[in-house]
């Protein structure tokens, strides 16, 4: 039987970083970094403001992965999404019937899902699904 991992600092960190989608916007160069950081990844500035990532956007690029890691049923659809209002997020599509339903520019939205089970503990995060109209 798999032994559950003891309560770990990583899960505590995930609350802000993963579940609440908190990143930063650099007040000097405008770059949006995610997760939250104290130093802008693009220019090194410390002049930053917290920025909550928008949950809707359009697909910047994607692929159809027929050889995913063992815990997935192929194919999976990894996507990089340009978020409405700025910032990017990477993840995989869910509730998508066929790879033909997505292309560059397709509108998508984040949904909160169980991502994986790690030694008995569920890890939650966001996946993307086709955006509902309106």
Partner 1 sequence: MKGKVAVIGVGMIKFGELFDKSLENMIQEAYLNCLKNVEKGIDPKEIKAAWFGQWSGGFIGQGAQGGQSLASMIGNLNLSCSRIENACPTGGDTFRNACLGVASGVYDVVLALGAEKMRDKPSAESLGGAGGGGGAETGNHPSWMMGQGGPAIQAMHATRQMHELGYTMEDFARVAVKNHHNGSLCPYAHYQFEITVERVLNSPVICWPLHLFDCCPQTDGAAAAIVCRADLAKKYTDKPVYVWGSHTGLDHNQLWDRSSFVSQPSVVRAAKGAFEMAGIKPKDVDFAELHDCFTNTELMDIEDVGFARSGEAAKKLKDGEFDMHGKLPINPSGGLKAHGHPIAATGLGQIFEVVTQLREEADKRQVKLKNGIGLQQNVGGPAFGAAVVNILSRSR
Structure tokens at 62: 């994607």
Binds partner 1 by CB under 8 A, chosen from 70, 97, 98, 134: 70
Q: What's the CA gap between 69 and 60, in Å, rounded?
A: 23
Binds partner 1 by CB under 8 A, chosen from 45, 86, 99, 109: 99
Structure tokens at 68: 């995913």
CB of residue 134 to partner 1, shortest distance in Å? 26
Enumerate residues 6+ apart whose C-beta is below 8 A from 9: none
Enumerate residues 6+ apart whose C-beta is below 8 A from 69: none
* Residues from 107 through 126 that contact partner 1 (CB under 8 A): 115-116, 118-119, 123, 125-126
Query: Is 71 one of the binding residues for partner 1 (CB under 8 A)?
Result: yes
Site size toward partner 1, by CB under 8 A? 42
* Residues from 39 through 68 that contact partner 1 (CB under 8 A): 41-42, 60-68
Contact in structure between 99 and 106 (CB atoms under 8 Å): no
Contact in structure between 51 and 40 (CB atoms under 8 Å): no
CB of residue 76 to partner 1, shortest distance in Å? 5
φ, ψ at 101 (rounded to 5°): -75, -15
Q: Interface residues with partner 1 (CB under 8 A)?
A: 10, 14, 17-18, 31, 33-35, 41-42, 60-72, 75-76, 78, 80, 87-92, 99, 104, 115-116, 118-119, 123, 125-126
């Amino acid at each position: 039987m798999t032994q559950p991992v003891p309560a770990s600092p990583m899960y505590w960190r995930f609350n802000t970083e993963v579940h609440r989608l908190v990143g930063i916007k650099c007040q000097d160069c405008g770059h949006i970094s995610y997760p939250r950081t104290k130093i802008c990844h693009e220019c090194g500035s410390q002049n930053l403001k917290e920025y909550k990532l928008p949950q809707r956007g359009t697909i910047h690029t994607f692929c159809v992965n027929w050889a995913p890691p063992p815990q997935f049923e192929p194919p999976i659809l990894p996507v990089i999404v340009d978020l409405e209002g700025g910032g990017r997020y990477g993840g995989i599509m869910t509730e998508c019937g066929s790879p033909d339903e997505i292309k560059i520019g397709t509108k998508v939205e984040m949904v909160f899902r169980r991502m994986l089970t790690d030694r008995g503990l569920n890890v939650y995060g966001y996946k993307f699904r086709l955006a509902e109209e309106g």
